[in-house]
Structure formats: structure tokens, C-alpha cells
Amino acid sequence: MIETPSDNVLADALRAGDGMAVARLFDLYGRHVERVLIRTVGRDGEMEDMVQDVFLGAYRSGHNYQGNDAQLKAWISRIAVFTARGYLRKRKRRWWLRSADPGQMPEQNSKEPSPHTSEVLRRTHLALDQMDADLRIPFALRELESMELAEIAQACECSVSTVKRRLARARKAFDRLAKKDPILSDWLGDQN
């Protein structure tokens, strides 16, 4: 495809440090970023802060962006993944500050799932919390966000073969954790 000057309007504005470009980027990819964060971190009271951190990171690093408008989704996904990884590491360090009731989750914007589905999701995120971030993030992006291997590799800044190895290790780790939980074990059995 031959690039025309209009193919880089948003990318050029980001490189120029235009704050409105970040607002436009948010309009285009805000929901995508939120889904990536929810899938990798789980529902969290700090979700709005994490989304803002992603777009603040985009603003701060926009002058270094070397792609075109068509590559912006992958770029913002990569920033979201690194934001999630940093948050997961921070959360691991302060695990003792978390609420004794892991079932406290913020309200969902979409229609409410069944109580069983909510419980499966809650327990899924409890299992994911026990996984290393390098395994959890590609696993969540693949299994929960249905991203392609190449997209995950780009977002995680690694090769497709590395993503495949991490996904295999993550699947084994998740299956091992899920087998210890009767609800997840039953649910996974129903899915096969």
C-alpha cells in the first residue's frame, strides 16, 4: 500500500507533542486499552488511573513514535501491556494491603453476567494473580482478549516463538491452578 500524507496525520501530531492528538488517540483506542488492562490485570479500583497512565505514557513518548497511523493500535497496546506489567509488579509487592474480600469488584458497564459466570471470572483472576506477569499477560491477551499471536508478540516486544512458549507454560500453570479450584475445574471441564 502506498502511503499518502493523510496516513500519518495522527502520528505526526503525536510526534509534534499535540495534546489533542492524545485525546483523539483516546477516542479511538480508549475502550481497547481498558479491555487489555482488564484482561491482564482484572477489574480493579485503579483501572481509570491505569488507563490514564497508558495515555500519559503515549503523550510522553509520542515524540519518539516512528510508525504511521495504521500502527497506532499496536503501539498503544504495547504501552498498555507495560503499564499492566508495572502495575502487577507493584501489586505483588503490596499484596498485604489488599482487601480481605477479593470478591469486591467495581460495577461493570455492560449487562451483568450470571452469578456463576461472575464467580468463574473472579476465580480466573485469582488464579491469574498467582502467575508471573510474563506468562499472565500473553495468556490473558490470547485467551481473554482473543488477540493474534503476532499482535501479542508486538505488544510484549518479543518474538512469536517466545509468545508461543510463554503461552504453553501459561496454559500449564493456569490448568494446574484451576484444577485446585472446584468451580474453575468444573467450568474448564464443561468447556472441553
pLDDT confidence of residue 92: 64
Tell me the three cell numbers of residue 170.
501459561
Q: How far is CA 45 from the centre of its chain?
A: 15
45: buried, middle or exposed (CB in 10 Å: 19+, 13-18, 0-12)? exposed
pLDDT confidence of residue 191: 57
66-83 per-position pLDDT tens digit: 989 999 999 999 999 999
Task: Give me the amino acid identity at 49.
Answer: D
Q: How far is CA 144 from the centre of its chain?
A: 9
Tell me the three cell numbers of residue 20.
489533542
pTM of the model: 0.64
45-57 per-position pLDDT tens digit: 888 999 999 999 9
138 in helix, strand or coil? Answer: helix
